[in-house]
Every structure is written in C-alpha cells, then in structure tokens.
Amino acid sequence: MTFAGILAFLGLAVVTMDVLGGVIATGVLLRGGAVRHLLAFLGGYTVVVTAATLALHPLLAWLSSVLRPVLDSNNAIGTVEIVVGLALAGISAHQFHAVTRPQQKHGRIEERSTPTRLAATPLALAGVAFSVTALADPSFTIAVGMASQERHLWAHIALLLLWNVVYQLPLVAVTIAAAFGRHEQLVERVMAVFGPRRRTLQTALAILLALIGLAVLGDGIYALISGHVPWLRQLIMLR
C-alpha cells in the first residue's frame, strides 16, 4: 500500500471513528464500574475482531471473487454511494435532533456505588454484541477492501488491527486511563472541554455529515447518469 493509500486508510478510521465505545466506557465508570468491567467489555470486542481478522485470509479470497463484479461496475458502486449518502443524511438529521435534547448531569465517579447488576460477564457479552455492530459498519467493509490489496496475511492483520485501534480510540483511551487510575481526570477534562460546547460540536458534526452525505449522494447519482468513476471505487483501489 502506498503512502497515499495508508493516509486514506487511516483517515477513514479517523473520520468514521466510533465514539460510542468511549461513551459506553464512560457510562460504565459513571455507574461505578472498575477497570475489570472495561477490560471485560474490551475483551469481548477484541475476541470477535481478532477471530474475524484471523479468518480474513479465506474470507477475503471468497469476497474477492464475489465482490469483483461489484468493484468493476461503476453503476454498482454508484448505487452503494447513494445508499451511504442517504445513511449519512439520516445520521445528520439524528444529530440535529440530538442537539435539542437537554444535557444530563452526572456526579463524580467516586460518589457512585457499583450496582449489583454491573458484572463482568454481561459486559463481556455486551462487548461481543458491540463488536458485531462495529464489523457491520460500512467503513469497516471499505477498510477490509483496502487492506485486501496487500498480498501478505500478516499485512492484512496488522493493517486491520491498527485500523481498529484508531477506529475505537475513545474506548482504548478511556480503558488505558482507567488502568492507570486517571479515568476521573479524563472524564472531568472531557466534560469540561466538550460539555459547554456540546450543542455547537453536535451542530458542526451534523452539518459536516450532511455535507459529506450530499457529496457522496451527488457523486453516486452522477456516476449512474454519466458513467463517472465513483469516489468510493477510487478509494478502495488505492494501493
């Protein structure tokens, strides 16, 4: 993979970074959870992702034969872009709606007792379920397609593991901070920085998603009408 391909590969992880994992981890801490609860959640996620990564060699060979007609068809990729564009527009609308929600206030983590229901096993299962939603993310499918351009299995694994670390950076950051006993400071600093600016940041995110959605949707429609090579196909074929 070329330098431009790596930048696009990691840039995809940054742009589509899943903040939900960090939100869940923070919620666990706010409910009195400990490091072992976060490790159980992260462990469930890691097990599924690792298993999927180890199975990528035969899976990618099969996907290559199945998806090759799709990747070679501008109309098919254009249709995918239309679906992705509409999905981004829907997420943008959801973000605009979320701006109107009142912000909830939380006490300090130390002031909260660990609920009797907060156990490691359910959180591990929650991590497994969370990993399934992450693997179903279209950005992960695109990342798999880009990583498949590498010929060696170890390169597939290294790229996808790196991509997942960046993709789940909020979850990784909260877990590392909790392991070193710095989670309270991290949560307070994040809340101090983003709390007062929540509406502004959510509005900016909604606008950004709307613009990206419109651009992808427009490119997909233009590809279907004129035979233009879609951006998505150019992105996947970066080497």
pLDDT of residue 63: 63
Predicted local confidence at residue 112, as pLDDT: 46
**Tens of each residue's pLDDT in the chain, 239 residues:** 667 778 878 888 888 888 888 888 888 877 777 788 888 888 888 888 878 767 766 665 676 666 666 666 667 777 777 887 888 788 788 777 777 766 555 555 444 444 445 677 888 888 888 887 777 777 777 777 777 777 777 787 788 888 889 999 988 888 888 888 776 777 777 777 666 776 777 788 788 878 888 888 888 888 888 877 777 666 655 55
DSSP secondary structure string for all residues of 117-173? T--HHHHHHHHHHHHHHHHTSHHHHHHHHHHTTSSSHHHHHHHHHHHHHHHTHHHHH
Contact 119, 36 (CB under 8 A): no
Q: Which residue has the tokens 């872009």?
A: 81
Q: Which two tokens stand for residue 4?
A: 């431009």
DSSP state of 101: S
Give the pLDDT of residue 214: 87
